[in-house]
Amino acid sequence: MKISLYVHDFFLEIGHSRSLIEIVRNFPADEIESVDIVAFTCGDLSKIFPQLSGKVKFTQVPFNFLYPMMLKIIFYQVATFLHALFRTQKDDILLGVGVASLSANTINLQFVHNHYYPFYFRFIKKSFFSTLYKRIFFSYLNFCENYLYKKSKVKIVALSNFTKEFCQEKFKLSNSQIKTIYSGINIEEFNLEKYSREQYLVSLQNDYPELKNIDHKKPIHLFVGAFERKGLPFVFKSLKNVENPQLIIIGKPESNLNLNFPKDINISYIKFTTEIKRFYTIADSFIFPTIYEPFGLVLIEAAAMGLDIYTTAKNVGASELLGNIDNIFIFDDFMSVTIDNPRILSYEEKIKSIESRREVLNKYSWNKSGSEFYEFIKNR
């Protein structure tokens, strides 16, 4: 099998490419003849695909600096069209993330713009010109989806059943064209080490001075992600009846969009970290009232670390896996998330939750996801 991977940026630290990397890592290596990564930027391939030594290469797409994003996307689509035309053969697997490339014949579907855009314009307010640009941008992405996903020979892997069902109705896809394959989790990466809560927080505060106001004697709430789509305003709402709440925020807003933090919540804000496990370790609850989330790896990670989880059922893929688990509270929608009795979790309480949850989470390994993906696409 010869594979071309079409994704704008290819790094383990980026969510959408991390998922693609884990999937391909778990394809049978002896069945893969070559992998060509076509991207603007790429990480160290010897670390990304150590099992494919000598079989993988990076084809760089120029002009990574293009702006705005719509222009950059169109340029990338043209570049991958030329790559597919001149550098691939009929039977090659051209595996793209969403509509990154309109030449892909296999789609790792991590987001559906046709599904999300009504929520965006209802709940995310921007200036007139920003709104106009976003409407043009969404119209273009919707057009791309309508073109690519309706191709008769395309194969699509969705991350959740709700995404699959929407696509089948919207794009008239048969069961042979689309399949739900949940993302996996590397359980061994999210093991909880024995720790003293006070000492652990001090260590974290030394590395992240933004946390200096966090008190280990009070429940610590955590939010991770893009502010608007992941529902940060509804996190604030969920904490309004909590006495003296403290919240760690990791993420960023959309460009050119300001969001004021409420003064009645003790907030520590960190724009970016590669040490998310440390924050799961110190936190007691993970609040994620997302507006639209085809899967949501952070939910699975937080669950694997034993945190109390507050999220929603509607349009959240990971919720399809986490129902009926103790101390995972799933609300109907993002506006109804409430936190009535926050608690401090001891190490022993987290371990107890972890042990019970792993009976469910162990069923969703990257090895399983990669094997199912490979079986679905190998015979075109």
pLDDT tens per residue, range 211-265? 999 999 999 999 999 999 999 999 999 999 999 999 999 999 876 566 789 999 9
Distances (CA, A) of 370 to 19, 21, 42, 155, 159: 10, 10, 21, 15, 12
What pLDDT, on a 0 to 100 scale, did the predictor assign at position 127? 83
Question: Tell me: the pLDDT tens digits for 272-301?
Answer: 998 999 999 999 999 999 999 999 999 999
Does 380 have pLDDT greater than 70?
Answer: no
Percentage above 70 pLDDT, the chain: 99
What pLDDT, on a 0 to 100 scale, did the predictor assign at position 248? 98
- What integer is the mean pLDDT of 17-40? 96
DSSP annotation of 253: P
Question: Tell me: the pLDDT tens digits for 159-211?
Answer: 999 999 999 999 999 999 999 999 998 888 899 999 999 999 999 999 999 99
Does 359 have pLDDT greater than 80?
Answer: yes
- 3-state class of 215 per DSSP? coil
Average predicted confidence (pLDDT) for the chain: 95
Nearest CA to 208 out of 265, 281, 263, 261 is that of: 281
Question: Is the link from the previous residue into 68 a cis peptide, with omega within 30 of 0?
Answer: yes
Number of helices and strands in the chain (H, E): 13, 15
- What integer is the mean pLDDT of 322-336? 94
Lowest mean per-residue pLDDT among 98-102, 153-157, 188-192: 188-192
Helix axes 297-304, 347-361, angle to 10 degrees: 130
DSSP 165-199: HHHHHHH---TTTEEE------GGGGPPPP--HHH
What pLDDT, on a 0 to 100 scale, did the predictor assign at position 258? 66
Percentage above 90 pLDDT, the chain: 88
Helix axes 15-25, 366-377, angle to 10 degrees: 70
What pLDDT, on a 0 to 100 scale, did the predictor assign at position 204? 98
- What integer is the mean pLDDT of 32-38? 98
CA distance 114 to 216: 43
- What integer is the mean pLDDT of 36-63? 97
Cut 0.85: pTM above it: yes
Does 67 have pLDDT greater than 70?
Answer: yes
What pLDDT, on a 0 to 100 scale, did the predictor assign at position 257? 62
Question: Tell me: the pLDDT tens digits for 105-122?
Answer: 999 999 999 999 999 888
HSE, side-chain direction, 13 A CA sphere, residue 196: 4
